[in-house]
């Protein structure tokens, strides 16, 4: 530590600040428990002690003030006052600024305490990309060399065989030689040397094999550690975004809650570094421009008093999706047109711009509907930051808005490296990994379970016909092979609104794979989105589930195409019995049916595929049917799809609620009539 006396203090203090900051935001949401306050007190006390050890009295004094605040809260039975939370966050900001000065190598008092800078968050967890790249590549190369060394160990069999031959040759003539030459002691010595050679070689072989196995284990651990260092859970930015939403809301006098979803998705830290700045701008815009200015305005619109901003992260094939949505007033497109008028656009040109064109102009930057310039709005430079982030990462950004309902912005960027649980399979000597969250089941398919026509092959899965193909036809389209006559190990993938089954030679099990992009000039099938290395350093293909299903359907028969072209209905019900009954009725009537067991799953399926109608239960855990339809109506791409509520609730107020949320029909289960249901569906679908 002679060259950097604060090396370990910075690491420890940053971790403590992270936990204290999240704890403060959690305190603001409800009445604190004694356990939570006790943990925060321990953290503040630890920070104070560490600061005194490295002779940083200002940081120690701030930590002592934190202890005072938490002690006051511990003795209170009420919710934490906002002023107390403001004080905690201010103290944390001041400590963070002084830590930043220590990291820069200057004195801690050289930088005055300032505003909370969310951009600084990335420096907490970002490793040096070149160093990490070198570490990952070095481990991979070492694993490859070790795998080659293990192959060389197999040559030991040949050496043992040669030793046995020498022993046999000497033994065959040893008696005759001893008698003829009178050299029996020499022969015996030779035999002893051969035996010693055999024993020495065996011991050496065992020692080397043991050493190789131990090195393999160590390298595997290093490889996993390197992957964890390079890959960062996206939840790492949630606290900073939550803090940003809170600070902007406080500045503008708005009450805002923030929610982060999908934080377990791990991405390359370089991606998160760039995306973080874009998300910060989007969240700040959502609070400054989207959320209504007063509780009365929100209540008049039928909304809760607190505005809501959500950031959702999810994997989508070879890309990762960052979606920020708010429940505010939406973008005032007329105000955008007025801004364009001030910039010189003619009335005819303004009116010719539809909503999508106006949103694309907003993404280019330079347009602000704010009448004044403040710390958080008015300069027209927010959304172009998002667009530039997408361009830097080779991705895309889309925006949609609904007046009075809210705005959603999605940033879709390709993975440069990712970690995901996968099913590992092998076909024709090719190892491949399929994301586990898209694999529905594995099974052995016999010839009697396969339906073949002149143009296609299919099997039944959950009562419906799905394409069946060898995975080899996907990874090597030019090398199709006949289907095996016996039972074939098979896995079923569901993605993009469809499902397909693929036969393989072996199912190797599950593993967490680190996906890396293919070299630019490497030829690969469309479904191959990357590669990973197994513990032995051998490559495995990583497959995109959506492309897998699409490939299967493209090679499908006209009969399957006809099935896919029939009207498709999504049934959303938490009761297995009801789902199966409705599926049976609808499929008998000629519809294609998809099932969801919750409102959340239904919403995910609704956004992943195109449906002609939604058949929805009301009473479900989590998101109920009313909330599901409200979400559908708030989505510009789904709001025109008709929906029917099927429920046991027959009260007049429930029927009225169904009409208010936008359901086209309300069917009570006790009054259920199959013919009436099908007629209602036929009318709505047409």
Model pLDDT for residues 470-492, shown as the tens digit of each residue: 888 888 765 554 444 456 899 99
Residue 654 pLDDT exceeds 60 = yes
The pLDDT value given to residue 407: 92
* This prediction's pTM: 0.52
Which two tokens mark 388? 């530039």
The pLDDT value given to residue 179: 52
> Looking at domain 7-114, which CATH architecture does it have?
Up-down Bundle (1.20)
CA distance 275 to 539: 29
CA angle 376, 378, 383 (to 5 degrees): 80
- The chain-wide mean pLDDT, for the chain, equals 77
- Report the relative pairing of strands 256-261 and 266-268 from DSSP bridges: unpaired
Task: Kindly state the average pLDDT of the residues 132-152.
Answer: 66
The pLDDT value given to residue 379: 35
268 vs 413, higher pLDDT: 413
The pLDDT value given to residue 539: 80
CA distance 579 to 577: 5
* Half-sphere exposure in the Cβ direction for 590 (13 Å, CA): 9
The pLDDT value given to residue 327: 92
- Write down the residue that tokens 């599950």 correspond to: 510
Is residue 529 very low, low, confident or very high in pLDDT (cuts 50, 70, 90)? confident
Is residue 501 very low, low, confident or very high in pLDDT (cuts 50, 70, 90)? very high
378 vs 33, higher pLDDT: 33
Domain 257-414 belongs in CATH node 3.30.565.10: yes
The pLDDT value given to residue 109: 41
Tell which residue, 344, 332, 409, 404, has the closest CA to residue 371. Answer: 332
The pLDDT value given to residue 587: 78
Sequence-distant (≥ 6) Cβ neighbours of residue 504 within 8 angstroms: 425, 426, 427, 470, 471, 488, 489, 490, 491
Residue 624 pLDDT exceeds 60 = yes
Inter-residue contact 278 to 324 (CB < 8 Å): no
Q: H or E stretch including 596?
A: strand 592-596
**566-685 fold:** Rossmann fold (3.40.50)
The pLDDT value given to residue 520: 59
Is residue 309 very low, low, confident or very high in pLDDT (cuts 50, 70, 90)? very high
Phi-psi region of 592 (alpha: psi -120 to 50; beta: other; left: phi over 0): beta
Which two tokens mark 156? 């030991």
Is residue 629 very low, low, confident or very high in pLDDT (cuts 50, 70, 90)? very high
Residue 628 pLDDT exceeds 90 = yes
Inter-residue contact 267 to 318 (CB < 8 Å): no
Residue 335 pLDDT exceeds 60 = yes
The pLDDT value given to residue 559: 39
The pLDDT value given to residue 460: 84
* Relative orientation angle of helices 625-634 and 652-661, to the nearest 10 degrees: 20
Distances 113 to 90, 97, 495 between C-alpha atoms, Å: 9, 6, 50
Residue 47 pLDDT exceeds 80 = yes
Residue 82 pLDDT exceeds 90 = no
The pLDDT value given to residue 246: 87
The pLDDT value given to residue 99: 84
Q: 3-state class of 621 per DSSP? A: coil
- Report the relative pairing of strands 568-572 and 613-616 from DSSP bridges: parallel
Q: Could you read off the pLDDT of 85-133 as tens digits, one per residue?
A: 888 888 988 898 888 888 655 444 433 333 334 334 333 344 555 556 5
Task: Kindly state the average pLDDT of the residues 47-70.
Answer: 85
> With 0-12 CB in 10 A as exposed, 13-18 as middle and 19+ as buried, what is 169?
exposed
Least confident of 425-439, 461-475, 508-522: 508-522
The pLDDT value given to residue 380: 43
Task: Kindly state the average pLDDT of the residues 222-227.
Answer: 67
Q: Could you read off the pLDDT of 29-44 as tens digits, one per residue?
A: 776 677 788 888 888 8
Task: Kindly state the average pLDDT of the residues 590-608.
Answer: 87
Is residue 616 very low, low, confident or very high in pLDDT (cuts 50, 70, 90)? very high
62 vs 270, higher pLDDT: 62
The pLDDT value given to residue 478: 57
CATH class (in words) of the domain with range 418-556 = mainly beta
Tell which residue, 236, 230, 156, has the closest CA to residue 198. Answer: 156
The pLDDT value given to residue 484: 45
Task: Kindly state the average pLDDT of the residues 650-675.
Answer: 85
Task: Kindly state the average pLDDT of the residues 76-90.
Answer: 81
Which two tokens mark 608? 């992943």
The pLDDT value given to residue 563: 42
Handedness of CA 339, 343, 345, 346 (dihedral sign): positive
The pLDDT value given to residue 1: 46
The pLDDT value given to residue 114: 36
The pLDDT value given to residue 50: 76
- Report the relative pairing of strands 528-533 and 498-503 from DSSP bridges: unpaired
Q: Could you read off the pLDDT of 259-278 as tens digits, one per residue?
A: 999 888 888 777 887 888 88
Least confident of 222-226, 570-574, 660-664: 222-226
48 vs 161, higher pLDDT: 48
Residue 308 pLDDT exceeds 90 = yes
Task: Kindly state the average pLDDT of the residues 406-426.
Answer: 83
Which two tokens mark 537? 């350093």
Q: 3-state class of 90 per DSSP? A: helix
């Amino acid at each position: 530590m002679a060259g950097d006396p604060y090396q370990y203090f910075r690491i420890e203090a940053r971790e403590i600040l992270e936990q204290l900051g999240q704890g403060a935001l959690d305190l603001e949401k409800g009445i604190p428990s004694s356990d939570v306050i006790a943990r925060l007190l321990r953290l503040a006390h630890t920070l104070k002690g560490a600061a005194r050890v490295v002779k940083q009295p200002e940081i120690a004094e701030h930590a002592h003030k934190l202890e005072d605040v938490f002690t006051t809260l511990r003795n209170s039975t009420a919710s934490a006052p906002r002023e107390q939370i403001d004080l905690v966050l201010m103290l944390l900001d001041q400590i963070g600024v002084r830590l930043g000065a220590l990291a820069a190598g200057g004195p801690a008092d050289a930088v005055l305490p300032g505003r909370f800078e969310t951009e600084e968050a990335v420096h907490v967890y970002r490793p040096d990309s070149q160093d990490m790249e070198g570490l990952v590549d070095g481990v991979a190369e070492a694993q490859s060399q070790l795998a080659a060394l293990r192959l060389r160990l197999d040559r030991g069999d040949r050496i043992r065989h040669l030793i046995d031959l020498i022993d046999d040759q000497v033994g065959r003539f040893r008696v005759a030689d001893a008698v003829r030459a009178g050299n029996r002691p020499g022969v015996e010595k030779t035999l002893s040397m051969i035996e010693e050679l055999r024993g020495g070689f065996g011991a050496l072989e065992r020692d080397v094999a043991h050493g190789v196995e131990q090195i393999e284990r160590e390298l595997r651990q290093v490889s996993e550690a390197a992957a964890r260092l390079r890959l960062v859970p996206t939840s790492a930015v949630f606290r900073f975004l939550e803090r940003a939403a809170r600070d902007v809301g406080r500045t503008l006098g708005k009450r805002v809650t923030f929610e982060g979803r999908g934080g377990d998705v791990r991405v390359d830290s370089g991606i998160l570094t760039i995306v973080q700045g874009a998300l910060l701008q989007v969240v700040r815009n959502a609070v400054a421009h989207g959320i209504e200015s007063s509780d009365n305005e929100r209540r008049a619109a039928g909304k809760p008093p607190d505005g809501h901003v959500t950031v959702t992260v999810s994997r989508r094939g070879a890309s990762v999706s960052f979606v920020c949505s708010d429940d505010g007033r939406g973008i005032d497109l007329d105000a955008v047109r007025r801004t364009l008028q001030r910039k010189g656009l003619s009335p005819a040109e303004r009116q010719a711009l539809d909503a999508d064109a106006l949103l694309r102009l907003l993404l280019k930057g330079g347009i602000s509907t704010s009448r004044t310039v403040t710390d958080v709005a008015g300069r027209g430079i927010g959304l172009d930051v998002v667009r530039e982030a997408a361009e830097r990462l080779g991705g895309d950004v889309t925006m949609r808005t609904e007046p009075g309902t809210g705005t959603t912005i999605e940033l879709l960027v390709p993975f440069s490296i990712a970690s995901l649980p996968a099913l590992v399979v092998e076909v024709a000597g090719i190892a491949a990994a399929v994301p586990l969250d898209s694999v529905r089941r594995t099974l052995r398919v016999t010839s009697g379970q396969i339906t073949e026509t002149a143009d296609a092959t299919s099997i039944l899965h959950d009562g419906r016909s799905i394409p069946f193909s060898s995975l080899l036809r996907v990874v090597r389209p030019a090398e199709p092979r006949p289907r095996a006559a016996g039972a074939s190990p098979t896995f079923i993938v569901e993605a993009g609104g469809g499902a397909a089954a693929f036969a393989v030679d072996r199912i190797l099990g599950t593993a967490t794979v680190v996906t890396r992009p293919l070299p630019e000039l490497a030829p690969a099938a469309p479904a191959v989105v990357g590669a990973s290395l197994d513990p032995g350093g051998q490559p495995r293909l990583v497959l995109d589930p959506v492309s897998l299903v699409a490939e299967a359907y493209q090679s499908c028969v006209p009969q399957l195409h006809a099935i896919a072209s029939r009207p498709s209905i999504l049934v959303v019900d938490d009761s297995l019995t009801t789902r199966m009954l409705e599926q049976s009725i609808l499929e008998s009537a000629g519809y294609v049916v998809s099932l969801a067991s919750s409102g959340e799953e239904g919403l995910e399926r609704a956004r992943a595929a195109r449906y002609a109608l939604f058949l929805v239960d009301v009473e479900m855990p989590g998101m109920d049917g009313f909330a599901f339809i409200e979400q559908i109506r708030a989505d510009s791409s789904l709001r025109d799809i008709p929906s029917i509520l099927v429920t046991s609730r027959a009260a007049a107020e429930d029927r009225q609620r169904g009409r208010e949320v936008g359901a086209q029909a309300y069917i009570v289960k006790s009054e259920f009539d199959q013919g009436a249901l099908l007629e209602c569906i036929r009318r709505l679908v047409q």
